Structure 1
Amino acid sequence: MRLSTANMFDASIATLQRRQEAMQDAQERLTTGKRVSKASDDPTAAARAERARTSIGQVDASQRALDASRNSMTLAESALGDANELMQQIRESLVAAGNASYSDDERKGLANKVEGLRNQLLAIANRTDGAGGYLFGGQGTTGTPFLDSPVQRDASGARIGGGVGFEGVGGAVTTGNIENYPMSVDGRLAWEQARSGNGTFETGAGQNAITGKSPAGYIDSGRVTDPAQVTGNSYSIVISGNAPSQTYTVFDETQGHVPVASDNYTAGNTVKFAGMAMTVAGAPVDGDTFTVKPATASLKVFDVLDRTIESLKKTGRTGTEVTQDNLVNLRDIDAVMGNLSNVRSQVGEQMNNLDGSESRLQTLKVYNQAEQSAAEDLDMTQGISDFQNQQTGYDAALKTYSMVQRMSLFQYLNT
């Protein structure tokens, strides 16, 4: 078989081109540091690297969501701290209002002070997160989450509506595609769901069963002595007789005004029944009635403040009525302050969780970066060796071509 000169030329040039392309590819890998630049280089490694890049993108998106969540939670924690400071000022004013030497005008002055602090609290409850949302908007609201409307009253003067109401949706907005990060605080939980009374039951002054007026005595917040005996029923405590010979009778109103306990009463006597104890003090008279009912998670900050302001503005109250109103208002203020503190603690815990989540995200990102590098990055030692081999092959191809180039009839005749 004979090979034509043209065929040998073509084969030599093709070999030279292949060697040149291989050397250029090796040089490109050295320059970029990548073993896999396109899927055809190594389909399996390319798919592995793409999965790693996708995971890194998810981590980066979650990191941005985490940063936004941390900003919102930091602002919310600060707002709750400001709210507690204002509530403490209100409490101090209310303690001062209990001073028996204060006149009605002095209490009105304290009411004006509390009203100003109440309006500042409303501004805190409607504080924004700096990104168009509201810190206490819950799961979303079309406007400010807390709206203040005029108080409405019935013919007897009793309040039937109005005041500050939550217009948002309960719960919290979350974001993030790997973990969920909170972007808002449940405004209803923070501002409208404190436990009433002492958290287990709620005491109050009823009416005198004989005169229909307010009791001449007053009752404190009470305490639980045996949780196992607490029934959750509603009760009434009725004082019978006049000092110094008085008795008290406890009726279970849930069971239909059934008497469940009775004993002699003396001033400041502690009434005990159904695992509960409370003190009836002052100078109660025959027929004075006090109530005990289960606590509910429905105590609202602004309703408590509005009732406090109204009671401070009342004139002509007896010393007993002032004491009873102050006991109730202080009890409720302590309850809503405690709830705000609890929510603040929850926000602080969420901020701690964000720190832990950030650490996990960084670990996950490093892992995926290592996966991507292992799949597509070039081993420089191996890359240099490959380039040198390709360069040697290219040089050999050049020499071969130069020899083939001289294989012609004219070259033969010249020799």
Structure 2
Amino acid sequence: MRLATITVFDAGITELQARQQRMQDAQQRLTSGKRVERASDDPTGAARAERALSAIGRVDANQRALEASRNGMTLAEGALGDANEILQQIREALVSAGNGTYSDAERNGLANKIEGLRAQLLSIANRADGGGGYLFSGQGAGNPPFLDTATGVVYSGSSGQIQTGNLDNFPLTVDGRQTWEQARSGNGSFVTSALPNSITAAPAKSWIDSGRVIDPAALTGDSYKISISGTGPTATYTVLDTTTGGVVKSGTYVPGKSLDFDGMSMTLTGVAADGDEFQVQPATSTLKVFDVLDNAVADLRKTNRTGTEVVQSNVLSLRDLDASMANLQNVRSQVGERLNNLDGTETRLAALKQYNEAEKSAAEDLDMTRAISDFQNQQTGYEAALKAYATVQRMSLFNYLNN
């Protein structure tokens, strides 16, 4: 078989170009540190790296949403802590107002103090989240969610909460209605209150405490009326179930002795008058913090009240305030639990991101030791091919004749 000189030269040039290209590719991989720079380098590895990169992008988005949620929940937890401190100051003022030696002017001074604290509490309920919204706006509101009107504070937000919308649905706001307007009334199971005397229409001469549950299984959820008949040692009481119309219990009225029926226990105190009446109703989740404060202030501003009236109103005001504080504390606990969940989720997201970064690195990153060795081999091969081509180039007939 005869080989032309041009054929040998072309073959040499082609081999040199191929070796040079492979050497350049090896050098470029060393420079970039990537084994897969184009999908054509390794289609399987490129797809694997792309999946990992997509997963890292999702984790980054979740981490940004998590930080936004953590900021909102941290601010809300701080606001609820501030609210609890103010309510504690209000409670101390109400306890002082129960002092029988206080004059109407002194109670009016305490009412002024509570009004000032109420204004601070309202500003906390309308606290901004730093992003153009409000912490307790629920599902969002362009204006402060709580409006102070002539008839009391009104919630103008929407129940619920704004969430980030990602797979984990991190909360960004707190439900303002649940926080400030949905405490359990009374002692959480039933509500006691005094009614005007059925004979004289005057306030009752005796008073009732907030009561307690002694047998949860015996609770009926009905409404009751307690009526006093007679005076002094001959006074008697009758407990009427106003839901069914039946008499539940009756007996001799003994001041300070607990009255137990249908799983409930309460105490009537004071020298009762003929016609004094009290009612017991099921508790509801409709107790509003600002209504409780407004009612307490209104009672403190009343003049010429009897000692019984002062005690009764104070007992009920403290009861409702304690229920409101318990509800705020419960919401604060929920917010704290959300923050704990965010911490746990952050750890999980960090681990997931680390895994996908390792997966992406395994799919496309270069083994530097192997790459350096490969480059050196390519360089040695190219130099050898270059020397060989130079030798072959001198083996033409014309070079032979010239020699």
Q: TM-score range by the shorter chain?
A: over 0.9
Q: Report the counterpart of residue 241 of structure 2 in structure 1.
A: 252
Q: Report the counterpart of residue 6 of structure 2 in structure 1.
A: 6
Q: Report the counterpart of residue 200 of structure 2 in structure 1.
A: 211
- The 10-residue stretch of structure 1 (26-35 or 399-408) with the greater mean CA deviation from structure 2: 399-408
Return the alpha-carbon distance in structure 2 between the equivalents of residues 17 and 374 of structure 1: 31
Contact 1:62 1:176 survives alignment (8 Å): no
Task: Note the C-alpha offset of 1:171.
Answer: 1.5
Q: Report the counterpart of residue 251 of structure 2 in structure 1.
A: 263
Is 1:412 the counterpart of 2:400? The answer is yes
Q: 1:193 to 1:318 in 2, by over 3 A?
A: same
Q: Report the counterpart of residue 359 of structure 1 in structure 2.
A: 347
- The 10-residue stretch of structure 1 (7-16 or 360-369) with the greater mean CA deviation from structure 2: 7-16
Aligned pair partner of 2:224 in 235, 249, 263: 235
Gaps of 5+ in 2: none
Q: Secondary structure at the match of 1:2?
A: coil
Task: Note the C-alpha offset of 1:277.
Answer: 0.6
Q: Secondary structure at the match of 1:254?
A: coil
Amino acid at match of 1:389: N
Task: Note the C-alpha offset of 1:173.
Answer: 1.5
Q: Report the counterpart of residue 388 of structure 1 in structure 2.
A: 376
Return the alpha-carbon distance in structure 1 between the equivalents of residues 166 and 47 of structure 2: 22
Q: TM-score, normalised by structure 2?
A: 0.97
Amino acid at match of 1:388: Q
Return the alpha-carbon distance in structure 1 between the equivalents of residues 393 and 92 of structure 2: 106
1:88-127 correspondence to structure 2 within 5 Å:
88-127=88-127
Q: Report the counterpart of residue 64 of structure 2 in structure 1.
A: 64
Task: Note the C-alpha offset of 1:176.
Answer: 6.0
Q: Report the counterpart of residue 213 of structure 2 in structure 1.
A: 224
Return the alpha-carbon distance in structure 2 between the equivalents of residues 393 and 259 of structure 1: 109
Q: Report the counterpart of residue 179 of structure 2 in structure 1.
A: 190
Is 1:52 the counterpart of 2:41? The answer is no
Task: Note the C-alpha offset of 1:178.
Answer: 4.3
Q: Report the counterpart of residue 319 of structure 1 in structure 2.
A: 307
Task: Note the C-alpha offset of 1:317.
Answer: 1.3
Task: Note the C-alpha offset of 1:29.
Answer: 1.3
Task: Note the C-alpha offset of 1:35.
Answer: 0.6
Is 1:172 the counterpart of 2:161? The answer is yes
Q: Secondary structure at the match of 1:142?
A: coil
Q: Report the counterpart of residue 148 of structure 2 in structure 1.
A: 148
Q: Report the counterpart of residue 155 of structure 1 in structure 2.
A: none
CA RMSD of superposed structures (Å): 1.2
Return the alpha-carbon distance in structure 1 between the equivalents of residues 98 and 300 of structure 2: 10
Query: After superposition, what is the alpha-carbon deviation per residue over 1:294-322, rounded to whole angstroms, capped at 9, x for unaligned?
Result: 00011000111111111111112111111
Task: Note the C-alpha offset of 1:129.
Answer: 1.2
Amino acid at match of 2:103: S
Contact 1:66 1:176 survives alignment (8 Å): no
Contact 1:203 1:293 survives alignment (8 Å): yes
Q: Report the counterpart of residue 200 of structure 1 in structure 2.
A: 189
Contact 1:56 1:365 survives alignment (8 Å): yes
Return the alpha-carbon distance in structure 2 between the equivalents of residues 68 and 348 of structure 1: 15
Return the alpha-carbon distance in structure 2 between the equivalents of residues 215 and 276 of structure 1: 22
Return the alpha-carbon distance in structure 2 between the equivalents of residues 141 and 178 of structure 1: 24
Contact 2:133 2:142 survives alignment (8 Å): no
Gaps of 5+ in 1: 152-162
Return the alpha-carbon distance in structure 1 between the equivalents of residues 382 and 166 of structure 2: 51
Q: Secondary structure at the match of 2:237?
A: strand
Return the alpha-carbon distance in structure 1 between the equivalents of residues 256 and 329 of structure 2: 32
Return the alpha-carbon distance in structure 1 between the equivalents of residues 109 and 303 of structure 2: 13
Contact 1:61 1:176 survives alignment (8 Å): no
Return the alpha-carbon distance in structure 2 between the equivalents of residues 306 and 2 of structure 1: 114
Aligned pair partner of 2:386 in 398, 401, 409: 398
Return the alpha-carbon distance in structure 2 between the equivalents of residues 268 and 179 of structure 1: 55
Query: Aligned residues: percent identity?
Result: 65
Amino acid at match of 1:101: T
Return the alpha-carbon distance in structure 2 between the equivalents of residues 214 and 269 of structure 1: 21
Amino acid at match of 1:112: N
Q: Secondary structure at the match of 2:340?
A: helix
Task: Note the C-alpha offset of 1:207.
Answer: 2.1
Return the alpha-carbon distance in structure 2 between the equivalents of residues 411 and 178 of structure 1: 78
Return the alpha-carbon distance in structure 1 between the equivalents of residues 166 and 53 of structure 2: 15
Q: TM-score, normalised by structure 1?
A: 0.95
Return the alpha-carbon distance in structure 1 between the equivalents of residues 107 and 148 of structure 2: 24
Q: Report the counterpart of residue 28 of structure 2 in structure 1.
A: 28
Return the alpha-carbon distance in structure 2 between the equivalents of residues 119 and 259 of structure 1: 46
- Number of matched pairs: 403
Task: Note the C-alpha offset of 1:185.
Answer: 1.0
Amino acid at match of 2:273: V
